[in-house]
Amino acid sequence: MSLGWWRQWRRKRILATRAIPDALWQATLEQYPFLAGRRADERARLRELATLFLAAKEFSGAGGLVVTDAMAVAISAQACLPVLELGLQRYDGFVGIVVHADPVLARREHADDIGVVHEYDEELSGEAMHGGPVMLAWSDVADAGTTSAEAYNVVVHEFAHVLDMHGGLTEGAHEHRRDGARGAWLQALVDEYDAFCVGLIRRDESLLDPYAGEAVEEFFAVAAEAFFVAPRALQIERPKLYNLLREVFRQDPALTLA
């Protein structure tokens, strides 16, 4: 009796007994056009993955927030987009999802170049930590249907980080390396990041939020948002970056989405 058999059996049982109800799934699609606009076979697979995701992860509300079925399905469906072709095991490294009603203020410290420590509050719509829970602000998740026009999606952003932390996609991006040491994919991503940062200084218009200039891993997560919710716009603005993401996610959302 192999683990493969057990996994398969468990998967079938969850899909048969705990499938997301039709009405709830349809309501979720209607709210998020970047889900509704995917091919029928992709939507069907996404529904299966979201069902398995719901069974495997633990949702909790912070500050008395009650996480309803509709909220959990909305989060699961968007969270599963990046792993649609990669498989749910990419998310095995964490279990908890903590949902806040609104963005959270986090106290941050930053030491400047001369060693002076500055304290400030950062407003977080989401956060992903290594092995820890994923935090999301429901207000941002709920708005994702309309903010997709600005290529913004907090769920995709945080789960792109989870995928990156688990798979080490951007690992080594900040180390000073000889040409070729990074691998072709990461080097190409770093080149796109460097070009984006030059554009930021020139104040070029971009679909990508300036926050993408913070670090390569943020660039990857912000670009993933655009890739999944405004793919054609990203493909037009940064075709090389689009192709890098198409390669890593093994999907081509611009084929069916605006």
Distance CA 44, CA 130 (A): 30
Q: How far apart are CA 34 and CA 228, in angstroms?
A: 7
Instruction: Give the shortest CB-214-to-Zn ion separation in angstroms.
Output: 8
Q: Examine residue 165 and tell whether it contacts Zn ion (CB under 5 A).
A: no
Closest contact distance (angstroms) between CB of 200 and Zn ion is 16
Instruction: Select 72 or 223, whichever has its Cβ closest to Zn ion.
Output: 223
Between 20 and 221, whose beta carbon lies closer to Zn ion?
221
Site pattern 183..222 for Zn ion (x: CB under 5 A)? -----------------------------------x--x-
Q: How far apart are CA 258 and CA 247, in angstroms?
A: 19
Window 101-140: contact mask with Zn ion (x via CB under 5 A): ----------------------------------------
Q: Is 54 exposed, middle or buried (0-12, 13-18, 19+ CB in 10 A)?
A: buried
Q: Which helix (H) or strand (E) holds 55?
A: helix 40-56
Measured from the CB atom, the residue of 165 and 244 that comes closer to Zn ion is 165
Residue 53 vs 220, nearer CB to Zn ion: 220
CA–CA separation, 235 and 254 (whole Å): 7
Alpha carbons 46 and 256: distance in angstroms, whole number: 15
Residues at the interface with Zn ion (CB under 5 A): 218, 221
